[in-house]
Amino acid sequence: MAKEAILADLKKSVETWDLNLVKEATQKAIDENIPISEIIGDGLGKGMEVIGVRFDKAEIFLPQVVAASKTM
């Protein structure tokens, strides 16, 4: 699987609070030797950025932010 697709899955997993996807995508990232800094910064962190924007726009609320952070 391409690195960009794995990072996109990590981002999506945080945005959708999908624990199964985050576990699967993280394992794929490790298997593909993607550096942890990229896993966090370019995958999981990007998902949290989306969560932050949605929170600022009042599209989601604190419980959803907490759920996303637990997914991360």
1 pLDDT above the threshold of 80:
no
Query: How does residue 68 score in pLDDT terms, banded at 50, 70 and 90?
Result: very high
Number of domains in the chain: 1
Angle made by CA atoms 36, 8, 17, in degrees to the nearest 5: 90
> What separation in angstroms does the CA of 32 have from each of 28, 29, 37, 40, 43?
6, 5, 14, 15, 14
* Residue 59's CATH number: 1.10.1240.10
- By the 8 A CB rule, do 43 and 6 touch? yes
The pLDDT tens digits of the residues spanning 5-22 come to 999 999 999 999 999 999
The pLDDT tens digits of the residues spanning 20-64 come to 999 999 999 999 999 999 999 999 999 999 999 999 999 999 999
Query: By C-alpha distance, which of 51, 43, 62 is closest to 15?
Result: 51
Structural domain boundaries, residue 30: 3-71
Which pLDDT score is estimated for 12? 97
Total-model pTM: 0.91
